[in-house]
Structures are given as C-alpha cells and as structure tokens.
C-alpha cells in the first residue's frame, strides 16, 4: 500500500560508500514510499547490506544524500536513526546472545514501548518465546532467535523496518513463518526495506524491487518486472 501524498519514508540519492579506500556503493538511488515493502535483490557482495547500513546509520555515505520522511539526515548516527524509528534486524540475528528473551525484549523496547507491551505482542505471535522467556537467547535455535529479533518490530511500531537476509541459515518452513509475520506487518502499513538473495521468497511481498549488482542499483521495478529480468538473466532467455 502506498500513500502518494506522504513523502517517502526513506530516500537515498546518489549515495556512495566505502570501506577504507575501497568504494562499494557507487551512486545508489533508492526510494521507500510510505507504507510499502521494497526488496533489495542481488548476488553476494552486491552492496545490499551496506545500503541497509546507510539507512540505519552504521555506515556514513562518502557522497550523496539520505532523507527520512523528506528531511535530510545525511550523516546520521545509528543512535539517532533508532531514535527516528529505524528498526534494523541485521543479517545473522539481531539478538543479544547472553541476555534472556525478556531482557532482549526490554533492551529493544527502549523509549518506544514498555516491556509489558513488548512481551504481550511477542508472546501472542510466538508462544514459543513465552515458554523460553528466561532462557539465554544464544542458546535458542536459529528460528527462535529470529522470532525474538522480529518481535522488536512487532512491539515498537517502527517508522521503517530493515530486514537483512531473514532467511539466512533457517529451514524453509521457518523462513515461511518469518515472512508471514513480515506480510502481516506490511498489511498493517509498516514501511519495510528488506534484502534477500533469494528473490522468490520476497517478491510476492514486495511493492517494489531493486536489483543491485556490484554496488549499483541496476534496475528498479515492480516485482513482476524484476522477476522477468531475473529469469532472463538466469535462464539466458
Ligand atoms: N566491514 C567491511 N570491510 C570491508 N569491506 C566490506 C565490509 N563489509 C562489506 N564489505 C565489502 O563491501 C562489498 C558489499 O558488501 P555487502 O555486504 O554490502 O553486500 P551484500 O549484497 O549484502 O552481500 P551478501 O549477500 O553476501 O550479504 C563487498 O565487496 C564486501 O566484501
């Protein structure tokens, strides 16, 4: 669902980024319209994670602009981005391994929600987390850890949710369960930017898809357009 009258929640214009002397993003343009799901697709090393880190304030652009809801926030820190409601679930689980489930929810609640509210929505969606509320997050299965990571987004009403390779290391059934939750959040109108290597999983959820290759956003289009492009590329058709 898009809200044409609202400015995009996130906008990158001509963003470059580097690690040391090596530039890895070479002028990325990307728009996340309010209330929509944008999928970043592309092979390993294409720059998907770095693009997400620009939005979450973990990497500073060396050139170009970042805007949130029409406001220029280029150079924002990760703490400032979190304060503006950027909820980032990084690749490889965004949980504190040596804290319990409840402690993780408490940390995630921050100033945007109470622990009670966080627990209520998390346990309603994932009853397994309730049974394990005093267990150390690091001792849970990958799927349970990802449920906990996603609970941050369920409880804090994020302005934008960043999901990096939610499927990584998970069994296909668990991946489907996770993306059902993401679809539910999208239906509630949460703006979502997600990165996946496996296009097939996320294209059905997306309003827009962006294909990244070698630090360039080579194509932006509807999921159907991008799907066709991918099958042509992979099948040589
Ligand atoms: N901390 C870092 N230091 C140096 N180079 C990095 C760092 N993080 C990423 N890179 C490099 O930046 C480029 C883009 O990586 P990035 O992780 O953004 O790609 P990606 O599309 O998310 O890949 P993947 O699907 O493998 O996660 C790669 O060449 C990678 O080696």
Interface confidence, given as ipTM, is 0.96
pLDDT tens digits, one per residue of 37-51: 999 999 889 999 999
Largest CA distance in the chain: 54
Query: For residue 16, which of 7, 25, 8 has the smallest C-alpha distance?
Result: 25
| Size (the chain), residues | 237
Between 10-19, 150-159, 217-226, the lowest mean confidence (pLDDT) is in 150-159
Q: What percent of the chain has pLDDT over 90?
A: 63
Does this model's pTM top 0.80? My answer is: yes
**Section 6-24 average pLDDT:** 96
CA distance 168 to 196: 9
User: Which of 216, 165, 210 is closest to 46 using CA atoms?
Assistant: 216
The band of 92, judged by pLDDT with boundaries at 50, 70 and 90, is: confident
Nearest CA to ligand 1 atom 10: 19
* Alpha carbons 147 and 125: distance in angstroms, whole number: 9
Q: How many other CB atoms are found less than 10 A from the CB of residue 103?
A: 16
Helix axes 101-109, 115-125, angle to 10 degrees: 120
Residues of the chain with pLDDT > 70, as a percent, come to 96
Asked if 222 and 199 touch (Cβ cutoff 8 Å), the reply is no
Domain ranges of the chain: 1-85+159-171+192-237, 97-158
Q: Identify the CATH class of 1-85+159-171+192-237.
A: alpha beta
pLDDT score for 237: 40
Residue minimizing CA distance to atom 7 of ligand 1: 19
Is 8 touching ligand 1 by the criterion CB < 6 Å? no
Structure tokens at 221: 């289009």
- Regarding the beta carbon of 44 and ligand 1, being less than 6 Å apart is answered yes
Whether pLDDT at 234 is above 80: no
Average pLDDT of span 125-150: 92
User: Computed from CA positions of residues 140, 168, 9, 207, in that sequence, does the dihedral angle turn out positive or negative?
Assistant: negative
């Amino acid at each position: 669902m898009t809200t044409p009258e609202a400015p995009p929640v996130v906008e990158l214009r001509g963003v470059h980024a580097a690690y040391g002397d090596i530039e890895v993003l070479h002028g990325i343009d990307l728009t996340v319209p309010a209330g929509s799901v944008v999928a970043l697709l592309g092979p390993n090393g294409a720059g998907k994670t770095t693009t997400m880190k620009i939005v979450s304030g973990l990497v500073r652009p060396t050139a170009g602009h970042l805007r949130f809801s029409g406001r220029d926030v280029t150079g924002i820190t990760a703490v400032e981005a979190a304060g503006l409601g950027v909820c980032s679930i990084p690749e490889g689980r965004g949980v504190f391994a040596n804290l319990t489930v409840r402690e993780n929810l408490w940390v995630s609640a921050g100033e945007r929600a109470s622990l009670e509210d966080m627990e209520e929505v998390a346990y309603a969606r994932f009853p397994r987390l309730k049974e394990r509320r005093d267990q150390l997050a690091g001792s849970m299965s990958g799927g349970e850890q990802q449920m906990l990571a996603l609970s941050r987004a369920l409880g804090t009403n994020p302005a934008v949710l960043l999901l990096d390779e939610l499927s990584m290391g998970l069994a296909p059934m668990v991946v489907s369960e996770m993306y059902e939750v993401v679809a539910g959040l999208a239906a509630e109108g949460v703006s979502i930017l997600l990165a996946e290597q496996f296009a097939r999983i996320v294209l059905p959820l997306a309003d827009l898809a962006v294909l990244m290759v070698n630090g360039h956003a080579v194509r932006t289009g509807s999921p159907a357009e991008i799907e066709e492009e991918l099958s042509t590329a992979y099948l040589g058709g």
